[in-house]
C-alpha cells in the first residue's frame, strides 16, 4: 500500500489495456486499409478496431481515476507526469493543425493555373463569413470563459457553482456543434469540390472533431465534479480538459480569418 | 538572305521566376479580355496574341481553347 512504500512515485500494477489498445490500433489500421481498397471484411474490421480503441480508452482512464482519486496514488510529483504529458500532447495537436492550415495557404495564396489562378476557384459557392461562421467564432471563446469560471469555482471550493459553470461550458459547445453541423448540411460546396473543398472541409472538419472530443472530456469533468472527485488542490483532469478546450477555441480563430474571411473574398 | 527578326515575349517584372507558367497564363487571359473589350481581330490585341503564343506550350493553348468552348475554362476571362 502507499503507506509502506518509501517513495512518492506510482509503480503501476500490471494492466491489459496497453496491449488491448495496440490490438485495437492494429485492427483499425488494417481494417482501414482493407476498407479503402474494397476488400471484404474491411469495414467490419475497421469498426471493430475503433470500438476496441474506444473501449480501451474507457477502461484505461477509469483505472487512472480509480488509482488517483480513489486509491490516492497521485502525489504531487506523480501529477507532473500527466500534466507535462498532456501539454506535449496539445503541442502535437497544434502541429497537426498547422499542417492543415499550411495546406490551405499553399493552395490559396498562389492558386495554380489549373484552377484559373484565382481563389476561391470559379463556381465554388462560398459561405458568408459574417453569418454562422462569425457566430461560431464568438461561441468558443465564450465557452472558454465559462470553463475559466468553472476553474475559479473549483479553486474557491464552490462545488455546486463549478458544476453549473461546466454545464454552461458544455451547452455552448453543443450549440457550436449544432450550428456547425447545420452549416455543413446547407453548404453549397462539398469536400470533393476542387482543392477549395478539400482544404476547407479537412481544416474545419478536424476542428469540429476536436470540439466534440473536448466536449466529451468536459462532460466527464462535469460528472466527476458532481460526484465530488475534484478538490481545490488536486484537479489535474479538469485542468487538462480546460487547456484542451482553450486550445480548441484558439484554433477556431485561424480558420475563421484565413479560410472563411480571407478565403472567401 | 533577309534578316529574320527573332524575338519573344519581353521579360515581365510581375513574373521574375524561372517558371513562367503564370506569365503564359496571364498573357492568354489578357488577350481574351482584350478581344472581349475591343472586338475580335482588333490590332491592339495582336501583341498579347504574340506573347502568349511564344510563351505557352501548344498543348495548353489547345486545352484552354477547348475549355473556353465548353464553358469550363476556370480563369477570369
pLDDT tens track for A91-106: 999 999 999 999 999 9
Q: Which residues contact A149 (CB under 8 A, 6 or more apart)?
A: A165, A168
List the single best residue of A107, A112, A116, A121 to mutate versus B (max B Cβ within 10 A).
A116
Taking an 8 Å cut-off on Cβ atoms, the answer to whether A118 and B75 are in contact is yes
Taking an 8 Å cut-off on Cβ atoms, the answer to whether A113 and B75 are in contact is yes
Residue A6 in this model has a pLDDT that exceeds 90: no
Percent of chain A with pLDDT over 70: 99
pLDDT in tens, A118-157: 999 988 888 889 999 999 999 999 999 999 999 999 999 9
Residue B35 falls inside a structural domain: yes
Distance of CA A213 to the CA centre of its chain: 4
Domain, as residue range, for A208: 74-262
Residues A117 and A233 in one domain: yes
A179 vs A131, A185, B6, CA distance in Å? 11, 10, 62
| Average pLDDT of the residues in A190-210 | 92
Grid look-up 481545490 returns A232
Taking an 8 Å cut-off on Cβ atoms, the answer to whether A116 and B22 are in contact is no
Identify the weakest region by mean pLDDT among A69-73, A82-86, A101-105: A69-73
Residue B4 falls inside a structural domain: no
| Average pLDDT of the residues in B12-21 | 93
Residue A26 in this model has a pLDDT that exceeds 80: yes
Residue B64 falls inside a structural domain: yes
Taking an 8 Å cut-off on Cβ atoms, the answer to whether B75 and A117 are in contact is yes
Residues A229 and A180 in one domain: yes
- Distance in angstroms (rounded) separating the CA atoms of residues B70 and B68: 5
Which of A72, A101, A133 delimits the end of a domain? A72
Which of A41, A72, A103 delimits the end of a domain? A72
Identify the weakest region by mean pLDDT among A15-29, A186-200, B37-51: B37-51
Backbone angles phi, psi at A187, to 5 degrees: -65, 140
Residue B61 falls inside a structural domain: yes
CB pairs under 8 A between A and B: 23
Residues A130 and A246 in one domain: yes
Residue A20 in this model has a pLDDT that exceeds 90: yes
Residues A54 and A87 in one domain: no
Residues of chain A with Cβ-Cβ distance to B30 below 8 Å are none
Residues of chain B with Cβ-Cβ distance to A113 below 8 Å are 21-22, 25, 75
Strand ranges in chain A using DSSP code E only, listed in sequence order: none
Grid look-up 496497453 returns A18
Residues A213 and A224 in one domain: yes
List the single best residue of B67, B74, B75, B76 to mutate versus A (max A Cβ within 10 A).
B74
Residue A78 in this model has a pLDDT that exceeds 80: yes
Domain count, chain A: 2
Confidence of residue A235 (pLDDT cuts 50, 70, 90): very high
Residues of chain A with Cβ-Cβ distance to B57 below 8 Å are none
CA distance A122 to chain B (A): 6
Residues of chain A with Cβ-Cβ distance to B22 below 8 Å are 113, 117
Domain, as residue range, for B48: 21-70
> At what angle are helices A132-155 and A194-226 packed, to 10 degrees?
20
- Distance in angstroms (rounded) separating the CA atoms of residues B32 and B30: 5
Residues A149 and A124 in one domain: yes
| Average pLDDT of the residues in A213-235 | 92
Residue B42 falls inside a structural domain: yes
**Domain of residue A6, CATH code:** 1.10.287.70
Residues A149 and A42 in one domain: no
Give the pLDDT score at B1: 64
Residue B8 falls inside a structural domain: no
> ipTM of this model?
0.82
Residues A183 and A237 in one domain: yes
Domain count, chain B: 1
Residues A216 and A243 in one domain: yes
**Domain of residue A209, CATH code:** 1.20.120.80
pLDDT in tens, B20-60: 999 999 999 999 999 988 888 788 888 899 999 999 999 99
Residue A247 in this model has a pLDDT that exceeds 90: yes
Q: Residue A181 belongs to what H/E stretch?
A: helix A159-186
What does the block give as the cell for A217?
Answer: 472530456
Residue B9 falls inside a structural domain: no
- Distance in angstroms (rounded) separating the CA atoms of residues A76 and A83: 10
Confidence of residue A1 (pLDDT cuts 50, 70, 90): low
Nearest CA in chain B to A194: B74
Cβ atoms of A2 and A71 within 8 Å: the answer is yes
Residues A258 and A241 in one domain: yes
Residues of chain B with Cβ-Cβ distance to A114 below 8 Å are 74
Which of A72, A101, A123 delimits the end of a domain? A72
Residue A214 in this model has a pLDDT that exceeds 90: yes
Residues A137 and A50 in one domain: no
Taking an 8 Å cut-off on Cβ atoms, the answer to whether A118 and B26 are in contact is no
Residues of chain A with Cβ-Cβ distance to B76 below 8 Å are 116-118, 122
Give the pLDDT score at A185: 92
Percent helix, strand and coil across chain A, each to the nearest 5: 75, 0, 25
What does the block give as the cell for A82?
Answer: 500527466
A4 vs A14, A70, A115, A139, A226, CA distance in Å? 19, 17, 70, 50, 32
CA distance B48 to chain A (A): 18
| Average pLDDT of the residues in B61-69 | 95
Residues A47 and A101 in one domain: no
Cβ atoms of A62 and A237 within 8 Å: the answer is no
Q: How far apart are the first and last CA of chain A?
A: 64
Amino acid at each position: 500500500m502507499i503507506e509502506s512504500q518509501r517513495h512518492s512515485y506510482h509503480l503501476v500494477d500490471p494492466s491489459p489495456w496497453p496491449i488491448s489498445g495496440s490490438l485495437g490500433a492494429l485492427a483499425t489500421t488494417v481494417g482501414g486499409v482493407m476498407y479503402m481498397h474494397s476488400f471484404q471484411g474491411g469495414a467490419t474490421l475497421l469498426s471493430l478496431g475503433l470500438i476496441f480503441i474506444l473501449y480501451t480508452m474507457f477502461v484505461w482512464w477509469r483505472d487512472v481515476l480509480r488509482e488517483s482519486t480513489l486509491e490516492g496514488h497521485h502525489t504531487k510529483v506523480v501529477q507532473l507526469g500527466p500534466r507535462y504529458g498532456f501539454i506535449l500532447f496539445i503541442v502535437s495537436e497544434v502541429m497537426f493543425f498547422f499542417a492543415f492550415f499550411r495546406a490551405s495557404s499553399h493552395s490559396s495564396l498562389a492558386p495554380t493555373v489549373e484552377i484559373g489562378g484565382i481563389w476561391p476557384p470559379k463556381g465554388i459557392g462560398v459561405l458568408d463569413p459574417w453569418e454562422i461562421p462569425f457566430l461560431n467564432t464568438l461561441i468558443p471563446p465564450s465557452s472558454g470563459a465559462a470553463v475559466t469560471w468553472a476553474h475559479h469555482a473549483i479553486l474557491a471550493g464552490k462545488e455546486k457553482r463549478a458544476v453549473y459553470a461546466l454545464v454552461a461550458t458544455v451547452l455552448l459547445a453543443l450549440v457550436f456543434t449544432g450550428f456547425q453541423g447545420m452549416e455543413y448540411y446547407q453548404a453549397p460546396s462539398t469536400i470533393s469540390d476542387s482543392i477549395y473543398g478539400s482544404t476547407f472541409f479537412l481544416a474545419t472538419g478536424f476542428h469540429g472533431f476536436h470540439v466534440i472530443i473536448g466536449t466529451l472530456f468536459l462532460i466527464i469533468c462535469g460528472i466527476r465534479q458532481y460526484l465530488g472527485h475534484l478538490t481545490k488542490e488536486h484537479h489535474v483532469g479538469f485542468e487538462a480538459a480546460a487547456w484542451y478546450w482553450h486550445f480548441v477555441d484558439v484554433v477556431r480563430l485561424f480558420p475563421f480569418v484565413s479560410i472563411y474571411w480571407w478565403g472567401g473574398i | 538572305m533577309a534578316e529574320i527578326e527573332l524575338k519573344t515575349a519581353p521579360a515581365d517584372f510581375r513574373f521574375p521566376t524561372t517558371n513562367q507558367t503564370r506569365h503564359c497564363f496571364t498573357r492568354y487571359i489578357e488577350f481574351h479580355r482584350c478581344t472581349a473589350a475591343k472586338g475580335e481581330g482588333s490590332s491592339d490585341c495582336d501583341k498579347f496574341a504574340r506573347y502568349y503564343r511564344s510563351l505557352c506550350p501548344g498543348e495548353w493553348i489547345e486545352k484552354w481553347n477547348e475549355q473556353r468552348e465548353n464553358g469550363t475554362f476556370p480563369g477570369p476571362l
